């Protein structure tokens, strides 16, 4: 079945450092790819997405490009802030066996940003 | 987008007891999903709940342990039965986005601690 692999954390950075969180996927066909974020004490929310090869998703200074040739969707941000401290999940959408579209998540990467 | 309300938001339960979690959506949806997020782990799909039919469970999850009801198109419940400390997790409900390119929407989650 489809799966998502992302780098293990935690990742600890100083404010204004460059962030990369690696994500690769295994899938039949070309799924849509997502990054979700979970801030401390809050629910899961979409950060960005890309629905086809070479698409770049972006939001709040974060970017990720759908790379079909390397089956990757790495998350990047040029200058992180303390408020970016959260858990980041790479995910893909796949058609469920009973219809509908379910989400397959990576393991999650916890990011700590120090002032 | 859908607004999803879950309750309770958290609970502490004695081992051997059962807890029913409710999920209410502000619009009619065909399919709902229940996920589990164990401490420090990613989200794992428990089951898919279709209105008017039995839920479909993922490998490793069984109906006797996690019975699900789906009485109408806006509501579902998940029961965690005969709880043990290993069931301590966050349980989240989600709705089918309707197509592969749309992100999933999640409730705020129910944080369950079994003592």
Express each pLDDT in A56-68 by its tens digit: 999 999 999 999 9
> Which residues are CB-contacts of B40 (< 8 A; sequence separation ≥ 6)?
none
In angstroms, rounded to a whole number, what is the distance separating the alpha carbons of residues A51 and A63?
14
Express each pLDDT in A69-100 by its tens digit: 999 999 999 999 999 999 999 999 887 766 67
pLDDT at residue B101, as a whole number: 77
pLDDT at residue B104, as a whole number: 85
Express each pLDDT in B52-77 by its tens digit: 888 999 999 999 999 999 999 999 99
pLDDT band at A106, cuts 50/70/90? very high
Does B1 have pLDDT greater than 80? no
The shortest C-alpha distance from A55 to chain B (Å) reads 12
Query: Among B31, B41, B102, whose Cβ lies nearest the Cβ of A99?
Result: B31
Chain A partners within 8 Å of B41 (Cβ): 107-108
Among the residue ranges A5-14, A78-87, B95-104, the one predicted with the least confidence is: B95-104
Q: Chain A residue closest to B34 (CA)?
A: A102
In angstroms, rounded to a whole number, what is the distance separating the alpha carbons of residues A34 and A113?
22
Phi, psi of B86 (to 5 degrees): -70, -15
Express each pLDDT in B12-56 by its tens digit: 999 999 999 999 999 998 889 999 999 888 899 999 998 888 899
pLDDT at residue A56, as a whole number: 97
Chain A partners within 8 Å of B106 (Cβ): 43-45
Q: Chain B residue closest to A3 (CA)?
A: B44
Rounded to an integer, the average pLDDT of B109-113 is 95
How many helices and strands (H and E) does chain A possess? 0, 12
Closest CA to A38 of A96, A105, A114: A105
The kind and range of the H/E element at A63 are strand A62-65
**Mean pLDDT for chain A overall:** 92
A1 or A25, which is more confident: A25
Express each pLDDT in A32-58 by its tens digit: 999 999 998 888 899 999 999 999 999
Q: And the tokens for B88?
A: 């301590």
pLDDT at residue A49, as a whole number: 95
| Cross-chain Cβ contact B107/A43 below 8 Å | yes
pLDDT at residue B42, as a whole number: 87
Interface of B with A (CB under 8 A): 30-31, 33, 41-45, 48, 50, 56, 92, 94, 96-104, 106-109
| Cross-chain Cβ contact B100/A98 below 8 Å | no
pLDDT at residue A98, as a whole number: 67
């Amino acid at each position: 079945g489809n799966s998502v692999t992302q780098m293990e954390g935690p990742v600890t950075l100083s404010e204004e450092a460059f962030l990369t969180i690696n994500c690769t996927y295994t899938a039949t066909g070309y799924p849509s790819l997502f990054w979700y974020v979970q801030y401390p004490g809050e629910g899961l929310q979409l950060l960005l997405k890309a629905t086809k090869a070479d698409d770049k998703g972006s939001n709040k200074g974060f970017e990720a490009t759908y790379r079909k040739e390397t089956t990757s969707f790495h998350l990047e941000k040029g200058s992180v802030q303390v408020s970016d401290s959260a858990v980041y999940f790479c995910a893909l959408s796949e058609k469920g066996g009973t219809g509908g579209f379910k989400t397959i998540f990576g393991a999650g990467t916890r990011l700590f940003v120090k002032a | 987008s859908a607004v999803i309300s879950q309750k309770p938001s958290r609970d502490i339960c004695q081992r051997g007891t059962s807890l029913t979690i409710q999920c209410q959506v502000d619009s009619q949806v065909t399919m709902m999903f229940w996920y589990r997020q164990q401490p420090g782990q990613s989200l794992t799909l428990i089951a898919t709940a279709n209105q008017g039919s039995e839920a479909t469970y993922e490998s490793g999850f069984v109906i006797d342990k996690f019975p699900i009801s789906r009485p109408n198109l806006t509501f579902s419940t998940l029961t965690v039965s005969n709880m043990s400390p290993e069931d301590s997790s966050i349980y989240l409900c989600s709705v089918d986005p309707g197509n592969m390119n749309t992100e999933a929407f999640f409730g705020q989650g129910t944080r369950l601690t079994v003592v």
